[in-house]
Amino acid sequence: FTISWTECVQFVTDSGICKPWEGPPGSEKELGADERSMKDLQAGEISLPMIWKEYMIVNVELEAEADNDDDTLARFELLELILRIAALKYIATRRITSKKNRMAEAVVLLNEECLQPYMLAQNIESPDRVRMKTFYKEDVCLAIESKRKHIQRVFTDHCSTVNNLNGQYRMQLKDFLALFKHAGLYDKWFTMGDARVVFVMSILITENELTSNEHKELDFVDFLEACVRTVYIRAMRQNDKTRLRHIVPQFVSDLIHALYNEGFDGQLVPKRKKKNGVAEAKAMAEKAQKKANRQQQRTQAASDKKSGRKPRTLAKLSMVRPEILMTPVKRRQSILGSKPVDKGEIGSR
């Protein structure tokens, strides 16, 4: 999930952080444009070229962050850009003159003057506020619990990733969008763009977004919330006053009916063959484990070489334990001290 410069320009202008750029498109990126634009600014204002300069500073390229392109910002970079904009708009222009907690005051002012009005205008609510107000209710939890096994089956069948640490299945965005497409959930009340928003809003906050992909994947609890969010959005747009505790079970039943056929023994049989299913996820996990084992072996070999110790090869081990190179029969004879029995003797017995 990244944001481009074009999207960033739309965000800072719509939120009132800076005025729209009056020059030709792309001229805000020219060298010295930030200094030239300062002449026309009033007290407490910043220009788009000044934000472009900060945009380039925070655009860090990491090899581990595969989806962080050269000209886009990842989420942690966007947060740093907002902090830099707050410092530029309120501290550099001397709107805040206190010596203590200046950065905190600048962020609070930016939130009150620009971010909060923008979120209200765009109907953007905090994920936690919606969770506490609508989803985290006893009747909704009981409705989900009654269909838990079916939801677990849908989630497991459509995951393409497994966490190597705990073995839990993880659902990526492509899996989520494909699941809703095959279930026929996209219509005038709920689009693929809405599904993307639901996916992002349902992910719980992760501690570190640099060392894992958990901020880009759904676990089972996140998937439960995504289903409830989908039901909630469709009901709001259709002016459906039915409570969620009655809509959620029907939604799950429709989902199962669209994705599975019921066999003679009552088992659910998928209607389509999955390209990224449980078998592929397990294979990917085994491949990752083998790769980790090879890396550990290389690290151990490098450590032994650095310390001067040589690896214990099979030939050297055989000098200590000769039975290593023996066949199973000879090894048994060596341990038990028995001789092979002649077939003729067995017949005579």
**CB-count burial class (<10 Å; 0-12, 13-18, 19+) for 127:** middle
Phi-psi region of 26 (alpha: psi -120 to 50; beta: other; left: phi over 0): left
| Per-residue confidence band for 160, with pLDDT thresholds at 50, 70 and 90 | confident
CA distance 105 to 99: 11
CA distance 80 to 58: 7
CA distance 140 to 138: 5
Q: Which residues contact 223 (CB under 8 A, 6 or more apart)?
A: 151, 155, 171, 202
CA distance 162 to 280: 10
The pTM assigned to this predicted structure is: 0.58
Across 151-160, 203-212, 231-240, least confident range? 203-212
DSSP string covering 17-58 = SSPPP-S-TTGGGSTTHHHHHGGG--TT---HHHHHHHHHHH
Q: Are 210 and 62 in contact (CB under 8 A)?
A: yes
For 262, phi then psi, to 5°, come to: -95, 125
What is the rounded average pLDDT for all residues in the chain? 79
| Per-residue confidence band for 334, with pLDDT thresholds at 50, 70 and 90 | low
Cα distances (Å, whole numbers) of residue 106 to 77, 83, 99, 114 = 18, 8, 12, 12
DSSP H or E segment with residue 148: helix 148-157
| Per-residue confidence band for 61, with pLDDT thresholds at 50, 70 and 90 | low
Q: Which residues contact 311 (CB under 8 A, 6 or more apart)?
A: 301, 304
CA distance 297 to 289: 12
Across 17-21, 120-124, 176-180, 340-344, least confident range? 340-344
Q: Are 188 and 231 in contact (CB under 8 A)?
A: no
Which amino acid, one-letter code, is at 56?
M
